[in-house]
Amino acid sequence: MMRMFKIVTQLMAALMVLMVSAANASEEKTMAQDFTLKSLSGENLRLQEMRGDVILVNFWATWCGPCRKEMPYLDELHQEFADLGFSVLGVNVEQDSNLATDFINELEVSFPVLFDNKQQVSELYKVDAMPMTVMIDRNGYQRVLHRGYVDGDEEIYRKIIKELIRE
């Protein structure tokens, strides 16, 4: 059973890397939608100001079990690749930002957490699952859209991040 899980995870990782490669070769690229949101620290953060970095935008909620499970892994990725021009942005979609603040303070994540209380950015990105992850390349193009989280997704993310950083 464990061996089958490992094989399936490796196949998924290879497929995601191929999808990124195909997207890179494609003539038509989708520019990531710009947004500005207030962060946990109280400052406004604008996506466009981060152009030049590879960005992983993760839409999440405290009531979402997979979101809670994924959060420490996202923090690991943020810390591992931050010096190479990579950042994670956690976008909380709940109306009550106090729930998110309590959860994030408990976890002590190192990446910026933003609040989309009115779901304007969620609508812009057509968020229809929790969590939902978008990866954006250094030029501001949306390269990966991933819905949900299962164990092993972080390894798929790691491979894609490495490829996007190398570009």
Query: Which residue numbers are catalytic?
Result: 64, 67
| Residue appearing with tokens 């993310």 | 157
SS3 73: helix
Using CA atoms, how far residue 126 sits from 33, 57, 105, 121, 145, in Å, is 11, 13, 28, 8, 11
Cis peptide before 72 (omega within 30 of 0): no
Residue 59 in tokens: 């839409």
| Contact between residue 53 and residue 85 where contact means Cβ atoms under 8 Å apart | yes
